[in-house]
Structure 1
Amino acid sequence: MSSPFGKKWVLLVSGSKGWADYRHQADVCRAYQIMHRQGILDEQIVVMMYDDIADNPENNSPRIIKNEPLGGDVYEGVPKDYTKADVTSSNFPAVLSGNKSKLSTGNASSRKVIQSNSKDTIFVYMTNHGGSGLFSFPAAHDVLHSEDLVNTLTEMADMHKFVQLVIFVESCYSGSMLKNLPHNIPVYGITASPPDKSSYAAFHDRWRGTYLADVYSAIWMDFVERNELERTTFEELFKHLSFELWRQNLPRCQQYGNTGLSKLPLSSVLGTTSHERVVFARKELRLTHLTVSHEVRHKIYQGKIESEKQGAMKRDLETAYEEYKKKQRSMAKGVEIFKVHCSKGRCLVPKEQRELTSQSDFKRVTESFREIFWDLHDEMLELTLPVPQVLLEVMEFNVDVEHIIEGIALMRTVVDTFIPPARTRRRHIRRLRRELSMPVE
């Protein structure tokens, strides 16, 4: 669409797959509907999502995706620009920067990318799981590093690819993705949480057996839908987000980059106020079932077990839930022994504010973690997401990088001991504890 700044471009990214993470793709679908209603043309909106929810066997309402308990379908009309194996951490910067030669997909020359210039604006919205300095994509261990995201944005600014860019990130530890964003480029970001805090899910739908939305995303989308974009600034949106999260006693959202851009009206990037708004017919947003992200699967399992009436199906769910908790305990044990290995007898006390002393060293450590845990998938893979925060804490004590990598290998050994029978696992854990001079339980 035409504007004083040129075209308005939008990139919407859901980095997850699977029914348990329904909410991430639902968030992106709703964000698309909002941008489309606000006059941004489909040719200027790029959507990256795995697209396995609408036709999922667990979907009781096929081809329909909801993002609010009483909301309508948000799936209809959503472009399928990049789906399944094309939703990757390598394709994301290629799409954002408009570099088709870097796309790792078929028919790259004909694929939709952000083809912006110095007069255009860009809005980027990303939602999924995250770790410290990491944003996950659907394939196992496919992650975008904060360093690579910031470098891409900085390079695009240097190449005058936009007049201004606004980026929203919804994930645990999302502040760590943007905290090194320069202040002197026209990029402004708001994240769901600080660098060392989790984000939260909302609206546990027992009938669907999953969560419909993320808290931060539900708040910003509701705000955009209710307000006149020409008269409302990003600063007002940020204050509203901060207040609502504070009111719910949740970690506060953060802003990064060129915060001077927060004075801009929402319409400068997000389109114009839609005449199709149903704002006045809607009640005030009432968030329910607020759940920290790492507890979501627990709540889903518990809800399914409580709702299931058939004895055999209930027992199957209970068995699956016990297996999931066993996996969680195995990862916790591995992390515990890793900390002892790396501390060399010192007590690791987390700091309130953590700063990366070396981006390259941290990236090397997290890549080593990914290589050592390369074969974990689905639930077990999700349980590894908080580990980069632990790696970061250890690095603050100037532990040698090689020693940390040895500790990661030891962590994997501990996790693998949870595969044999319980008695064997206990013997193996005791032996490891003796070797590391830890108390034997």
Structure 2
Amino acid sequence: MWWLHIGCIFISLSTFTPYSLGVEIPEKFQKSNHTNNWAVLVDTSRFWFNYRHVANVLSIYRSVKRLGIPDSQIILMISDDMACNPRNPRPATIFNNAHEQINVYGDDVEVDYRGYEVSVENFIRLLTGRVPPDTPRSKQLLTDEGSNILIYLTGHGGDGFLKFQDSEEVTSQELADALEQMWQKRRYNEIFFIIDTCQASSMYEKFYSPNILATASSLVGEDSLSHHVDSAIGVYIIDRYTYYVLEFLENVHTNSQKTMTEFLAVCPKSACLSTVGVRRDLFKRDPSKVPITDFFGSVRPVVITTNTIDIMDIPKRKKTEIENRTKVLEKRKYLPQFPMHLVQGSTQ
């Protein structure tokens, strides 16, 4: 039957891998062994004057979703709900630039930990997998040895610590030990660690586990500064480092050829007014040969076979009236977070 042959062809094509056909990954890229992508995005600050930290984390959240990581593989932790703060002149909205290009607190935001749930204990338990047995699946980091994990932290910090809720702190040693537990328990393949806070590089200095690439918005002894104020809101609405990261990510797409080296250079001191720190000695691959989508995108593993696949002869059924109707689905896409003059027309 002709339709049966078509079905066989479709299955064969959809299960091909590039390698059996002699297609190779471009030379400038090094192959990753990861099979899935996760993101842990954490805002640790409370109070209205820290509005920018919520905008920081929601902007990164929106970017990784746009590039393919689903909500089921994103853990979003927000210490304070700025969208519902009584001081917010535009309730249910959070903007990341004064142009108010887009509300990053949109209809599809799924917050996994909010308010006082964002604590040092919950954060460490999340990373190490030591959560109570009744913890909902949406609040668990269900990674494995094939997982590439993006960890993004923003808030207030100092030399060797990051504050949570303005009442407790996680130290650089505690964080390093948590990542080592993850490695010993085979909970990751590679980690890309980003932190935007004052003296941020102090938080990765104690790391000793393999396969971790880390970057920070400032070195020890330096402050991480805000970018600009929205006069309609009355507070700073985004930090400098995250602002330039977003400006870069807005020009990255799922088929991007950009590398991690390009990402690590997004905010020179002339723009950030602080020195961006990078630690790459624990990372086996050359960042210049690692596509940015290895951490900000989502892998779609494909298996190739040239063997014939037998399928059952499924009896025909009568098409219903609804099935006969031609329905044109509305094409949807993510709107740019920044004003259009900052978003290039390139697909790189």
TM-score of the two chains, using structure 1 as the length reference: 0.58
Partner amino acid, structure 2, of 1:198: D
Q: In the alignment, which of 54, 59, 62 is matched to residue 25 of structure 1?
A: 54
Partner amino acid, structure 2, of 1:82: Y
Partner amino acid, structure 2, of 1:8: N
Distance verdict in 2 for CA 1:275–1:60, change over 3 Å: closer
* Offset, 1:4: 6.1
Partner of residue 129, structure 1: 156
Deviations 1:1-33 (A, max 9, x none): xx9621211110000011100000111111111
* Offset, 1:97: 2.4
Report if aligned partners of 1:98, 1:116 keep a CA contact under 8 Å in 2: no
Q: In the alignment, which of 101, 109, 115 is matched to residue 84 of structure 1?
A: 115
* Offset, 1:155: 2.0
Aligned: 1:255 with 2:278: yes
Aligned: 1:157 with 2:183: yes
Report if aligned partners of 2:102, 2:337 keep a CA contact under 8 Å in 1: no
Partner of residue 56, structure 1: 85
Partner amino acid, structure 2, of 1:34: S
Aligned: 1:46 with 2:75: yes
* Offset, 1:181: 1.8
Q: Secondary structure at the match of 2:278?
A: strand
Partner of residue 211, structure 1: 236
* Offset, 1:276: 4.0
Distance verdict in 2 for CA 1:239–1:157, change over 3 Å: same
Structure 1 unmatched runs, 5+: 286-441
Distance 1:280 1:32 in 2: 15
Report if aligned partners of 1:181, 1:256 keep a CA contact under 8 Å in 2: no
TM-score of the two chains, using structure 2 as the length reference: 0.73
Q: In the alignment, which of 144, 150, 157 is matched to residue 117 of structure 1?
A: 144
Partner of residue 178, structure 1: 204
Distance 1:216 1:45 in 2: 22
Q: Number of residues paired by the alignment?
A: 274
Q: Secondary structure at the match of 2:82?
A: coil
Partner of residue 436, structure 1: none
Distance verdict in 2 for CA 1:228–1:79, change over 3 Å: closer
Q: CA RMSD in A?
A: 2.4
Distance verdict in 2 for CA 1:61–1:279, change over 3 Å: closer
Report if aligned partners of 1:8, 1:44 keep a CA contact under 8 Å in 2: yes
Aligned: 1:9 with 2:38: yes
* Offset, 1:120: 1.1
Residues 321-340 of structure 1 aligned to structure 2 (within 5 Å): none
Aligned: 1:75 with 2:91: no
Partner of residue 283, structure 1: 341
Residues 198-347 of structure 1 aligned to structure 2 (within 5 Å): 198-228=223-253, 230-241=256-267, 243=268, 246-248=269-271, 250-257=273-280, 258-261=282-285, 262-263=287-288, 264-271=290-297, 276=334, 278=336, 282-284=340-342
Distance 2:145 2:61 in 1: 24
Distance 2:38 2:199 in 1: 26
* Offset, 1:98: 2.5
* Offset, 1:284: 3.0
Distance 2:136 2:102 in 1: 36
Aligned: 1:94 with 2:164: no
Distance 2:82 2:338 in 1: 30
Distance verdict in 2 for CA 1:162–1:135, change over 3 Å: same
Q: Secondary structure at the match of 1:92?
A: helix
Percentage of pairs with the same residue = 25
Distance verdict in 2 for CA 1:167–1:57, change over 3 Å: same
Report if aligned partners of 1:100, 1:111 keep a CA contact under 8 Å in 2: no
Flag the structure with more relative contact order, 1 or 2, with Cα contacts below 8 A and sequence separation at least 6: 2
* Offset, 1:228: 4.2
